[in-house]
Amino acid sequence: MASNFKVQTRQLGKNGPVVPRLGLGCVPLGGGAYGLAASDEDRLAFLSEAYKLGARFWDVADEYADAEDVIGKWITANPEKREDVVIGTKFGIVSDPVHRRAFATDSSPEYCRKAIEKSLSRLAVSYVDIYYIHRVDKVTPIEKTMEALVELKNQGKIKHIGISECSASTLRRAHAIHPITCVQVEYSLICKAIETPEVPILETARELGIAMVAYGPLGSGLLSGSIQKREDITKPGDLRAMIPALRDENFDSNMAIVGKISDLAKRKGATTGQFALAWLLAQGDDIFPIPGTSSARRLKENFESMSISVSPEEDQILRDLAGGIVGQRVQELLGHAFADSVPL
């Protein structure tokens, strides 16, 4: 395992903030997806460790359980550190208050204005650095949503605008109203849809100077090295057993491929997760992976991937191996993959 590393930073898009190449995904901070949440004391201590390490690009959303509230408690306890942390949050997913797995999308201007006020309150901040449209709904033209976001920016409530899981054409339409700083998409060694001609969002973002924030960079843990058997993903609060790549019918064959990737990683003195993240970082300086964790040890391990190089030969070997992974994307199952906004 790499033992020394320097936190690499890059500008996010053409006019965005300078952030670490790796962000901190905060789904695990809230709990309920990868397991139960830790205590407030432990989660606040974790955020302090993240800050100390240099992990100061935090990605959260109003739907990540109480993750916004925990960050708000940390900010309240450390107000002098607020300016050092780039916080991105999101709106547009509305979950059922009783059944959390059921949710709808709402990217209307009205909901946007309500959602930002709730997020600002929960985060205990006067502004957020990046405000994302989490999902594009099926009734609101993207231009109308963008107009509301521009209002919020002019009011000083948000600094930059992002969008998540949209089509290339929707990204162009949004960017025509106001520059988009970054687009958040699933991108990993085992999910490379954005590289294909059918989903030209990576090509479009690069043409427009928009950064790519890669969620799911470790395939929901499949590439992390933390999953060895099905029981590792069936604990209370862990929903990953429903992910197609981790279902019973695909688990053994996919894990066999991950085992081969792990063998390659060991030869480099890296963990499986580090090698997978290093591969993603090698795809371009405009790629910013946001692996999620609530473990200081795992966070340090992730950040050490910035010191690992991936040769063109290794890139091809990894691509060939990962091409055998089977299982549909969760967003495809939900019908939210690369959403097209309705016409204006």
Q: What is the separation of C-alpha 242 from the centre of its chain, rounded to a whole number of angstroms?
A: 19
Is 184 a member of any domain? Answer: yes
Is 277 a member of any domain? Answer: no
Amino acid at 313: E
Range of the domain at 199: 19-225+284-294
Is 104 a member of any domain? Answer: yes
Q: Is 78 exposed, middle or buried (0-12, 13-18, 19+ CB in 10 A)?
A: middle
Is 314 a member of any domain? Answer: no
CA–CA distance, 139 with 341 (Å, rounded to integer): 8
Q: Is 203 exposed, middle or buried (0-12, 13-18, 19+ CB in 10 A)?
A: middle
Is 1 a member of any domain? Answer: no
Domain count, the chain: 1
Is 244 a member of any domain? Answer: no
In a structure prediction context, what are the per-residue pLDDT tens digits for the chain, which is 344 residues long?
445 678 999 999 999 999 999 999 999 999 877 888 999 999 999 999 999 999 999 999 999 999 999 999 999 999 999 999 999 999 999 976 666 556 789 999 999 999 999 999 999 999 999 999 999 999 999 999 999 999 999 999 999 999 999 999 999 999 999 999 999 999 999 999 999 999 999 999 999 999 999 999 999 888 988 888 887 777 887 777 778 788 888 888 899 999 999 999 999 999 999 999 999 999 999 999 999 999 999 999 999 999 999 999 999 999 999 999 887 777 766 666 788 999 99
Is 276 a member of any domain? Answer: no
pTM, rounded to two decimals: 0.93
CB 294 within 8 A of CB 67: no
Is 6 a member of any domain? Answer: no
CA–CA distance, 166 with 285 (Å, rounded to integer): 21
| Residue 57 burial (CB count, 10 A) | 26
| Residues recognised as catalytic | 64
Report the CATH number at residue 32. Answer: 3.20.20.100
